[in-house]
A and B are shown apart, each in its own frame.
Chain A
Amino acid sequence: MTIGRELLSKRALAVVPRVLVLVAAGALGVVAWRVGGGAEPPASPPRPASAGSSSPSSTAGAGENAPVKPGDGYEVSVRLVEIANGARFEMPRADGARAVMKAHWRQQKPPFFPVTGDAARFVTTIALRASASEMQWATSIGNDGTWVPDARVWNMNEGSFDQREAFVSPPPGSIAFRVNVPHGAKLTFAEGTVNATDEATVFAVAVLDSKGARHEVYRHELQPSAARRWTDASCDLSAFAGQDVELVLSTETTKVTESPADAHKADRSREPVTSGRSYGGSGNGKPSPDAGVVREDALTTPSSPVALWGNPTILAKTTPRLPYNVLWIVVDALRPDVIASFHDDADDAAKHAAPHPPLEALLPRVPGLTPEIDDLARRGARFTRAYSAGTWTRPGTLAMLAGARSSELGIGTKDWIVTPSVAERFYGSDPPLVSLALRRQRMTTRAFVNNYFIVGYAPVGVDLGFERVDDHRYRTRDTFEITKSAAQWIEENKDTRFFAFVNFNSPHEPYEPPAKYLEKVPPPPAGPKDEIARLYMAEAAKDDEAIGVLMRKLDETGLRDRTIVVVTADHGETLSSAHAGTSGLDKMPIRYHHAASNYEETTKVPILIVAPGTIAPNTEVKARVRSIDIAPTVLDLLGVEHHARMSGKSLLPLAKGQADRDESDERVVVSEGRGSRAIMYGRWRLIVREGAARIITQGDKTREAEVELFDLVDDPGERRDLAPSKPEVVAEMKARLEAALKNVPVAGSSERQGALAQADAQSPPMLRLRFAGGPTSRRASGTIVIGDGKTKPKTFDVTPVELGRDAFRAEQGKIEVALHTSPSAAVGFDIVIDPPSTPVTWELWLDDKPWPEEGVFGGPFGLVAPILRKGVATDEARLAAQSIALPMIDAQRDVGLFVARERRGGDGEQGGAASDEGAEEMARLLREWGYAHGSNATAK
């Protein structure tokens, strides 16, 4: 045998160890790959972490441990969907359910709390029919029959739905939660199935008490005739109060007990009436065959029902902490001049007497048209000069519920449809929505709407954080349907603190009022000349009647005195002939519509807030206010903290007649429409248009209007565009708009000084004086006088810093100074004076020469401040010295006196996130990246 043979083919076995070695090397490579990070998905850019991770569940958790007193009502103790991550799921038939769920016509992931792990498969936000007679349409756009959200789906979906956060529980299945049962607890939930089958579904609730004994507290068989809609239920848990128990929600199937005839009767389907209404140019809304639209019942016929637990919530009997319920009514496109009580005869007369009268831009006062709103106006505060921050529904509604303009929330106002990434970012950013804030305050939150633009997480609109949404979409009946379900729900939940958001979609165009309301609008001159405006007003009368139904429900349930009622609109409506035309953007009509303009007519809305016991009845506020101010007001009325991103300002001081110093400067009114923005300031309104929105077609004339400027005093109807003749005003207003868009005070506003006094009142400032003499030790001496002839300090307190007690003598409102500066640290005093406005003056010498002119520095940056040379005696000087901390003083280099008037606590606190060790690591990194050049980079 040869060596060559040995090497190549001695025995097949000889190869084995080599192969083994290579395999081992490969296996180790895989290990390295996995731990080294190669197996990890590639880096993805940061997106805001999903919000609410801290709040909802932790609030509930804290509440479980808090002592709970018996009381007269209920508040939410824990929403089981929010503790889904801790639940135990046993769902052997989950896979079968997936296909059924996938084909469901409308479901979303719950956006407001992070659901992970196993729970993510079983928690959803899902819409079912609002009643047995509704028929929903499913789309099978996409080859796999997956439901793809699409604006068209909403438009054609004439009908109603009832959307809840739910657990999916394909029977047999069970979900177990560890909960602490509060006092007088009850569990409320809704039963539902996604599909109708030939089996009934058993919903059972069992409690495993602290001793391990099992108690079944609820059992119900849901018949197939009740499929695809919610059946509300509740059970009592008070027997387990105070115990840590395991709560088990289980579902199983059983034989049907109802007769087939009943089932057929109940499950009959009604052909939906399709709507002629069109949003976003999406056609007449008829289901088009090519879109793959099918009726929901045609989609699947699985053998077993997929059960749903809707909004399972444990309510605790207690005295609710919040003083009021909230009933927030939005009448889409309602102008304030429709409401008689929002008219002021003198104002109207002044407008008509203006050089350019408004004509039909101001509707005539028609007493008795809206008696219910007028009645509410007598009970609370009406803001007669209020403006919406958006001129169409999504921005308008967002602004009022978030207390911030749509663009501040990162949601543009030009496109009808929000892209999924924008929506996701919005939800992930912990949006400042009042609905979320109140949800965290244990209110039950509910929306009754007809609104494409706020329902539909992701592509169409925003669901705005309501745990349950009822959407009624009928051409003419919607207002009544919404009212009916809202009234019924108030009745059922009268013991529970609630936030109910009711949104009527009329008098939004098309105006189709039933005849009896048209009769309420008188002929001209008492009524409007324009026929279509008459229709519009009649629509408003219809909504007024609906509001009346809700108010009577509040009376019946005894909730009137415990409920804040807000009536407002998401935007106005353009009715004036001066504004007829079509916008270049989607060929939007401007007159008899909104969205494409920003006129007084389009932006002015009524705001009416009734808070019995807090806001005096029949209050009229004439100051200019904004729809973004409503949410902070409601939170103030409830005593709930504002979200930091709310840019609106509470209306409560105004409503209480306490127009404080803050109100000396008018609130900046900015409204955003489709491709346009406007600002009001003083007597001017400036409208800026962008892109296609600049093109306006009137008849066969087309003009381009990039900016429009109106004088609201001389020309309240906004008929004469002054932009060409007043470029200087345009420039000023543009600057104001730009500043306002960035949400900063307008130049020249007096807010800062007012804020100073206010801040002083909240936390008294500390006056910090530091002497720096550069590399050599120098002598500083002189006298600091506290108080003057008029004001004497009540007390003052001096703390030396890096100085001995012998460096100064404090007595009788005077501090005698005689000290030496140090090259290693700035030396001086911290002085606290009460009252803070006491003037402080000084006369100082450096090395026995008068203190150098350019040697006094003040404020947060230590800038040269000649105004402080003689002391801090005036408001201006105080402002120059105002700082959240001492500036950095380089004792080796700086020469001079540094003055900082620093407030204690609050802002001055540091972020504090960094530990010393973390900081060291950071320094090392910065050096490695090359951003720190030497070892002194670590010197603080």
Chain B
Amino acid sequence: MASPAVARLTTDPASREHRKRLRIAHNPAVLPGSLRRIAHGARAALVAPPLVGAAYVAALSAWAGMRSSGIDVDVGDVGRTEAVEAFIARRFPAEVTRMKIGVVATAIALGLVIGLVAELLLRLRHPASKLARRSPAGVLVESALLVAALHAALVGWAMADTPQLYAAGWYDQGGLRRTVQVIATDALGPRGVVLAALVLAIFYVRPARLAYVARRVVLVARSPLRTLAARIAKTSIAPIAALAIAATGAMFVEGPRTAKLAHAAGPATGPASAAEPASRAGKPLNVLVLAADSLRADRVDPRVAPNLTKLAARSTRFDRAYVSLPRTFSSWVTILTGRHAHHHGIRSMFPTWEERAKDFDALPGRFAKSGYATGVVSDYAGDIFGRVDLGFERVDTPAFDFRQIIRQKVLERETPLLPVLHSHLGRRLFPVMRELSAAADPRLLADDVETALRSMKDSPFFVIVFFSTAHFPYAAPAPYYAKYTDRSYRGRFKYHKPMGLGRAAGIAPDAADVRQIQNLYDGAVTAVDDAMGRVLKTLDRLGLAESTIVVVTADHGETIFDAGRGQGHGDQLFGDEGTHVPLVIYDPRLGGGRNERAIVRDVDLAPTLYELAGIEPPTDLDGRSLVPALRGEPIAPRFAYAETELWFTEDIPGLPPALRMPYPGVMGLTELDARHNAEIVLRKEMLGVTRMARHRMVRDERWKLVYVPTRAGVRYMLFDTEADPGEREDVAAAHPNEVTRLRAELWAWMLRDSTMEQRDGYLVPVQRSEPAR
């Protein structure tokens, strides 16, 4: 296809001749004018690269849409997958169709844009005269190849940037596909892919031709700048052209960042920020809670979380903060109400409509009443904020209902479109992208936070930012996923740790896998840390740093194969990893640099924030304010309590059946609530057993007692967390006094749950009398 560059250059001066000849060929006398135009138009249309692009991407997308998604295939049971699809098609036919229309529209739009770029390249490479001479079929083939190459470059870049989204379709499939993705991620990386694409593009257009075109462009542009431009063009035409293309590419690579740069360059932020704290002196302080799902307390260290460590150094850091129900939904409601789960009633991830639709009298509601703008910004783990009304005015989290699930299902297999879908634009077009667990990109969320803060900064605000990336599947984008991992690793968890998928789930991870997963988690934490750092910088830029109370915490920790206990949270209370969370409170009025060693709890945060903001708290809170600790005064010792949530399977590593009350697996536990949007709720008849079977614990600074009900009786397990930080050895028999003391404390707490009572040593649901009729 490509002739030698030299030849091309020599033909160029002759283009005038070609043109003349062409004019003769299209002599109006030969063909009637209208017919000629139609013929010309038809030919142009045939070869128009945007059309080629649209057709190509649409076809790819349609092909991808017809395949089952990788996840379904991996579940292994084709019959079941079909049943699910049939169910969805029957129950929500319109929704699937709607989504497909949206996907096709997106595909065509993307194709048109890619086609435009292809056309630009095509015209850059070929002089118009030559192009006009070539056969339409030739041009068509060349456009198609160009379009395919550009799209491949785009996907390649995205594949390296957010490999988790592509792993199911590429890496996990093995063979060539695996090689392609490994090359994209390990050999090239996202920047490498862009660079390679640029080099190829320049090679395709040819540097000499590029230089010629650029010179011509300068000549034609008869502007006052012409001389200047000409001078620049003379010195470095090729690099400038390359830069121009690179800039176009960068729009794709760093779309959100450019927006941010524009802000940074904008006027007024600098000087205003200096003056603002003074003018805000009388105003109440803002509250910004930075939280990450599954963030372990021990990861807030300089290696993995430098930004948070820096913040902690100028704040009060609580070294022993515990949550009481280590799963997201319950934990957030506990944190924000200042009441334990048995008082606020959200005790599982699947509460019923009735349990959710009530007045929780929570922090955001009270802050809102006191004139604060309240909001929460989050990605997929934050969908719980859309399921319960805690009083937020602005809930910037993905929605969660069955329609969203269908949308998710349609989108997750659209690999050809994912590069655009996973972007601010894509999230705006398809908000459900924020609900994809592998697409929890802290960089994008930090941008959303900036938008939210800008719009809320004029009144005092109470904002929660909740990052999901540290939650499994620990899917951090580049470079974070590779930051601590071993590049040569080729196991199942190269890019993330998908959960419980089909056949592979039965195989326990080996030592290399475990190391990989732990490193992925650390990478995810660093990704979140960087994003939190950006949010703090934003705060600074908006001049709010000295008028904002910043809290860093988590809804729960995470066990990552510590002491042979598998991975997750909420299943068990053995080991501190699930319940121990970071807690850092920065109040600009109070000094920093303190480490509080006493035990503090999730329920203590709400009273603390009420006190810091000077808002009257509800009278029935379970926690006590931590403000004395912020002032450097000693705080009274407290016990931390916790309970487990639901168990969904029979085998949970580290939790043998002998330590469990048996109850059905997830299918027997939950049902769809037909009255409310087919939401998943805990079955009514499972309420009793799932409450009764929970492990519950109390701990002080050294001892930890776990109440373990089993069929054969209640077992109390005591751990000396100082001598045995891994909590491997039950020392109840050796320390009966500690058991007696802590058992009394634990029972006092357990019986505060008015739905439960003590019978034969067990904590069992209260049997209500039947209503008399």
Contact = CB atoms under 8 A, between A and B. Distances in A.
Interface stretch (A102-110, A128-136, A312-320, A923-931): A923-931
Interface stretch (B237-245, B263-271, B686-694, B726-734): B686-694
A907 B688 CA distance: 13
B768 to A, nearest CB: 7
Among A35, A893, A937, the most chain B Cβ lie within 10 Å of the Cβ of A35
A690 interface: yes
Contacts of B768: 744-745
Contact of A925 (B388, B431, B673, B680): B680
Interface in B332-386: 349, 353, 356-359, 369, 383, 385-386
B701 interface: no
Contacts of A99: none
Interface stretch (B183-191, B272-280, B495-503): B495-503
A85 interface: no
A9 B649 CA distance: 69
A911 B674 CA distance: 10
A428 B506 CA distance: 47
Among B430, B506, B772, the most chain A Cβ lie within 10 Å of the Cβ of B772
A756 to B, nearest CB: 9
A861 B693 contact: yes
Contacts of B685: 884-885, 907-908, 910-911
A4 B15 CA distance: 12
Interface in A872-895: 882, 884-885, 887-890, 893-894
Among B12, B44, B404, B674, the most chain A Cβ lie within 10 Å of the Cβ of B674
Contacts of A912: 671
B198 to A, nearest CB: 20
Interface residues of A, number: 113
B736 to A, nearest CB: 22
A882 B684 CA distance: 17
B770 A758 contact: yes
A21 interface: yes
Interface residues of B, number: 134
A40 interface: yes
Contact of A29 (B88, B109, B616, B683): B109
A31 interface: yes
A432 to B, nearest CB: 13
Contact of A933 (B101, B429, B616, B649): B649
B649 A45 contact: no
Contact of B349 (A36, A662, A691, A931): A931
A422 B365 CA distance: 12
B661 interface: yes
Contacts of A752: 767, 769
Nearest to A644: B771
A236 B185 CA distance: 82
Among A9, A36, A742, A923, the most chain B Cβ lie within 10 Å of the Cβ of A36
A350 interface: no
A35 B99 contact: yes
Given A32-B102, A32-B430, A35-B101, A917 B216 contact: no
A117 interface: no
Contacts of A33: 428-429
A908 to B, nearest CB: 8
Contacts of B38: none
A429 B71 CA distance: 40
Among A8, A22, A935, the most chain B Cβ lie within 10 Å of the Cβ of A935
A3 interface: yes
B385 A32 contact: no
Given A4-B216, A751-B769, A932-B666, A911 B405 contact: no
B284 interface: no
B116 interface: yes
Nearest to B357: A48
Contact of A7 (B80, B217, B662): B217
Contacts of A889: 662
A22 B54 CA distance: 12
Contact of B688 (A8, A650, A860): A860
B760 interface: yes
Interface in B613-666: 616, 619, 646, 648-652, 657, 661-666
B15 A3 contact: yes
A923 B389 contact: no
B755 interface: yes
Contacts of A918: 87, 672, 678
Contact of A21 (B112, B383, B387): B112
Contacts of B15: 3
A807 interface: no
Contacts of A888: 662-664, 668, 689
A37 B388 contact: no
A422 B359 contact: yes
Contacts of A758: 770, 772
Contacts of B86: 917
A17 B769 contact: no
A670 B693 CA distance: 32
A857 interface: yes
A454 to B, nearest CB: 20
Nearest to B673: A913
B296 interface: no
Contacts of A920: 80, 83-84, 87
Interface in B692-719: 692-693, 711-713
Contacts of A762: 770
A740 B322 CA distance: 30
A922 B680 contact: yes
Interface in A19-51: 21-22, 24-26, 28-29, 31-38, 40, 42-49
A937 B649 contact: yes
Given A32-B105, A35-B105, A925-B680, A46 B220 contact: no
A666 B472 CA distance: 53
Nearest to A735: B751
Interface string B730-773: 00000000000000000000001011010010101011111110
Interface in B99-137: 99, 101-103, 105-106, 108-110, 112-113, 115-116, 123, 127-128
A754 interface: yes
B683 A911 contact: yes
A6 B648 contact: no
Contact of B651 (A8, A649, A933): A933
Among B396, B429, B663, B760, the most chain A Cβ lie within 10 Å of the Cβ of B429
Interface in A820-870: 854, 857, 860-864
A936 B215 CA distance: 69
Interface in B212-245: 212-213, 215-221
Nearest to A864: B712
Given A25-B112, A917-B87, A924-B75, A861 B661 contact: yes
Given A920-B83, A937-B649, A890 B662 contact: yes
Among A7, A26, A32, the most chain B Cβ lie within 10 Å of the Cβ of A32
Nearest to B752: A738
A936 B76 CA distance: 13
A661 to B, nearest CB: 10
A9 B220 contact: yes
Contact of B671 (A419, A691, A908, A913): A913
B217 A928 contact: no
Contact of B432 (A37, A744, A751, A913): A37
The 10 closest A-B pairs by CB, nearest first: A4-B216, A742-B754, A930-B499, A917-B87, A43-B399, A45-B389, A36-B430, A755-B769, A35-B102, A43-B386
15 contacts: A3-B12, A3-B127, A3-B128, A24-B109, A32-B429, A43-B399, A46-B676, A422-B359, A755-B769, A860-B688, A861-B762, A924-B84, A926-B648, A928-B499, A936-B651
Given A31-B101, A860-B688, A930-B500, 19 more contacts: A5-B220, A21-B50, A28-B105, A32-B102, A32-B103, A42-B395, A46-B357, A744-B754, A755-B767, A863-B762, A888-B668, A911-B685, A913-B672, A914-B670, A914-B672, A933-B648, A933-B649, A934-B500, A937-B648
